[in-house]
């Protein structure tokens, strides 16, 4: 899994500030029917998440076997307080009815009064283990607004009293 802050030109063109890339290589959960969660980044106190996009690049599947019975892998995007705040049960499995267009949620998270994490949760299905998926890639694009970051870069205003 990678998580990075985008370059200034990317931020301006896309309206997002950060990108996470998760692939089948990241899925290591070997227990059947068990989910696997990822903390993408710490959300600073006072920050706001103004939008989240979930974009499926390559549907997930067990291409080695191939196991067409492994037909459900859903993804949730949220924060520490609510694992499904931004996206709930979005299908990303090649053998299911996977999402074909980016999923967008403009429901604002925050301003956060306490430090939390932006999270992604992969849900498996009965009798199937996520680590068997060997193909797939999903991107999470986030508009994370941290006003403190901007304020910290400002010079103090001189007092004239």
Q: Is pLDDT at 150 greater than 80 in this prediction?
A: no
Find the mean pLDDT for residues 52-77. Answer: 95
Question: Residue 153 has what pLDDT?
Answer: 80
DSSP state letters, 29-67: --STT--EEEEEEEEPTT-EEEEEEEEEEEEEE-TTTT-
Q: Tell me the C-alpha distance between 134 and 54, whole Å.
A: 20
CB-based contacts of 10-16 (< 8 A; 24+ apart in sequence): 14/141, 15/51, 15/143, 16/51, 16/53, 16/141, 16/142, 16/143
Find the mean pLDDT for residues 79-106. Answer: 96
Domain coordinates of the chain in residue numbers?
2-135
Find the mean pLDDT for residues 91-101. Answer: 97
User: At a CB cut-off of 8 Å and minimum separation 6, what does 35 contact?
Assistant: 29, 121, 122, 123, 124, 130
Question: Residue 151 has what pLDDT?
Answer: 79
Find the mean pLDDT for residues 106-119. Answer: 91
Q: What is the mean pLDDT of the chain?
A: 94
Question: Residue 108 has what pLDDT?
Answer: 80
Which range, 32-46, 101-115, 138-152, is most confident? Answer: 32-46
Question: Residue 122 has what pLDDT?
Answer: 98
DSSP state letters, 117-135: EEEEEEE--TT--GGG--E
Length in residues, the chain? 161
pTM of this prediction? 0.92
User: At a CB cut-off of 8 Å and minimum separation 6, what does 27 contact?
Assistant: 36, 60, 122, 130, 131, 133
Structure-token pair, residue 24: 């089948």
What percent of the chain has pLDDT above 70? Answer: 100
Q: Tell me the C-alpha distance between 34 and 124, whole Å.
A: 6
Least confident segment among 33-47, 109-123, 143-157: 143-157
pLDDT, one tens digit per residue, over 30-61 is 999 999 999 999 999 999 999 999 999 999 99
Least confident segment among 30-39, 78-87, 141-150: 141-150
Task: Give residue 116's Cα distance to chain centre.
Answer: 14
């Amino acid at each position: 899994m990678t998580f990075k802050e985008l370059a200034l030109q990317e931020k301006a063109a896309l309206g997002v500030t950060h990108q996470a890339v998760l692939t089948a290589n990241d899925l290591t959960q070997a227990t059947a029917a068990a989910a696997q969660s990822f903390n993408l980044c710490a959300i600073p106190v006072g920050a706001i998440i103004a939008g989240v996009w979930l974009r499926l690049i390559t549907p997930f599947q067990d291409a080695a076997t191939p196991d067409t019975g492994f037909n459900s892998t859903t993804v949730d995007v949220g924060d520490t307080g609510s694992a499904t705040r931004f996206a709930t049960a979005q299908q990303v499995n090649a053998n299911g009815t996977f999402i074909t267009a980016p999923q967008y949620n403009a429901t604002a998270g925050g301003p956060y009064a306490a430090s939390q994490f932006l999270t992604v949760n992969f849900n498996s299905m009965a009798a199937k283990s996520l680590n068997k998926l060997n193909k797939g890639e999903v991107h999470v694009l986030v508009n994370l607004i941290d006003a403190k970051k901007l304020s910290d870069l400002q010079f103090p205003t001189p007092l004239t009293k």
